[in-house]
Structure 1
Amino acid sequence: MTEPQADVPAGTDAPTRRLSTLDRYLPLWIGLAMAAGLLLGHQVPGLHSALEAIQVDGVSLPIALGLILMMYPVLAKVRYDRLDTVTRDYRLLVPSILLNWLVGPLLMFTLAWIFLADLPEYRTGLIIVGLARCIAMVIIWNDLARGDRDAAAVLVAINSVFQVLLFGVLGWFYLAVLPGWLGLEQAGMDVSAWMIAKNVLIFLGIPLLAGYLTRTVGERLRGRQWYEQRFLPRIGPFALYGLLFTIVLLFALQGEAIAANPLDVARMAVPLLLYFALMWGLSMLLGWAIRLSYERSTTLAFTAAGNNFELAIAVAIGVFGVTSGQALAGVVGPLIEVPVLVGLVYVSLWARRFFPDSTTARGGVEQLDHSATGR
């Protein structure tokens, strides 16, 4: 999204004051987009037919463009040339991969089945949220909590690559295979690994390639300082604009279902709250137990707890349709995630006292310029 404000020494300012206005009030913007969508759907009854008039592989073209738009600025910020700086640190890399690609999806699968066993569409949507590992907003939470910026940037790049390679297979496993192994009711679930992977390739692969090429060409022609200090701040807000545009259209088309089942939507908040709290807490404890510094433990915790809700929304819409409960669950994700992770920033700063070596050097890795840490 937008760039965080300049660094303020720890203890001199509230963490949220160092967020840009757009990021600080993200739940408010999402809420207003939801309300605008409901109003638009009520006032324009023919909107659904108009959006379906032009489709790309079953997805309305305006919605597809909005999904790609909200992913591109995020991936243009990733420093792809830093992959080797953290891949050499196995004490951080191995726990991060296990937490992100084993523990996280399995925990969300468990919570979704416990709390939403009778709501298969919402349950499936939350499982998709659990599979979409955070690749951008985590850099803001990590920076506010005084985590290791370099490690966070590299783990973001690793998660981006893993999502392209693994999301389709893991989605098929958790949605179609594992429930059958456990004897759980599938409710007519018909989804293939290719169906999910195809949408990941479209809505993550295209902006990932565009982001990589943009950074490579931009830095080669104008230099890294211009790219990160001038170009990125200009395109950053378009991630939020794309997200809000998608939410407006989704709620415009979902108005009747939401009005008919408001408590069902509220029920999704419970497993989401538990998920974010448990993932962050378990990761922070693990970092402390294996004697990582506070900075890297914090990075481990936020990269494990955060989710790429843009990708979750895109996959849900691409596979199940814009009027599906799965797509609606994807939108509820950030509405809960953002305020919870802001709260966990404060908890992280409080927990710093339990890490005596909280000023550990960052493995000799050059510190990232602050202007590259924004979403």
Structure 2
Amino acid sequence: MSCGSRPFLACPRHLLVCEKSSFLQEKSRHSTHVETHYYNYCVSILLPECALLPEKLKHIIEGMGTYYLVKNLPLHEFLTEEFNDRFLKKGLFYALSYNTRIDQDNVAAVLPTGKLIVSVNKDTYEELGLQGKPSLYSGKNPMRYIVTIDLTDSAMSPDGKKFQRVRWALTEKKPLNFDFLFTWDNTEEPSILSYFSKYVVKECQFKINSGVSRELNCPVLKSDELHGKEEESCSATEFFEWLGAISNNIDWENESSSFISSFCCPEPNILIEQAHLCTITGFITPAKIQKLVKQLREYFNEPKLSQWVSLMVHGFADSPVSWRESEHGFFKGGENLYCFVIFNNEDYWLQMAVGTNDGCPP
């Protein structure tokens, strides 16, 4: 594993953690990394030497279901015993405030662990009167605070003093309303639509974009050469940059001496006939990503021309957390993302990246 920064004068620092392992290893942490990155808005799958999505993978992508946008919802709606019983106790409920900027606005999220996290400016924090902690990225004079409320805590029972104080703060002292994105991996009733029917609720569909690139220079990868030391494989860092360019349709057909752009495909590389890139955009839960990872592992059950495929996951730039409850901030780009390179021998590379206002990924 390696964690490094790039202290260029013109560029903000970012962190990239790279590790290699095998899905077959008992201590493999791949599931944990996926399950604890809660707020994901985009997944990109790259299949070298592939023109059409395999039917099983296509079925998973097209069967992702829906997510929801609830307008102008007060935070105190999360405090009710009914909400706790019907959603939190049944597990895997996710909520994230929509169109709120983590560096400028108040932001809120409900984690699948049942915790409500509210990131607020100094004025709002003082008006709320709830216990919190200064943001890790506020400097010596904090202008932002993080309030965490465990909605499943026994002290949050309706007759408890803690519950009464939190409810009073959010209903009378400083009511906070947000537009929220909701998603839930539990298909049992009640549905989000029916439970929040007194509010404006919009059912949202995932956006799926799929396309094939022809005659593509593609890096050569060997699963055991994370750092490319033997010059028989591109390094994980070089591949990460190349994949980002491919995913964003950035021109990579340049010479290293080009004045306009020096970006070119890293060495060693080969020319492949085609590569399929599929991008899914929406509020994507870790459980859905786990299904995609599982299916990509099974992709190699039949012989393929390529020895690897990749899956890149982008987190919401303005979510209050990255992994678990690690505070996430926005300095230049708000990036928090990870990428699996899945090899045909069940090895994988995992790359995790965050920006300036984040700690080192787990």
**TM-score, length of structure 2 as denominator length:** 0.25
Q: Report the structure number with the largest CA radius of gyration.
A: 2
Indicate the structure with greater strand content: 2
Indicate the structure with greater helix content: 1
Which is bigger in relative contact order (C-alpha 8 A, separation at least 6)? 1
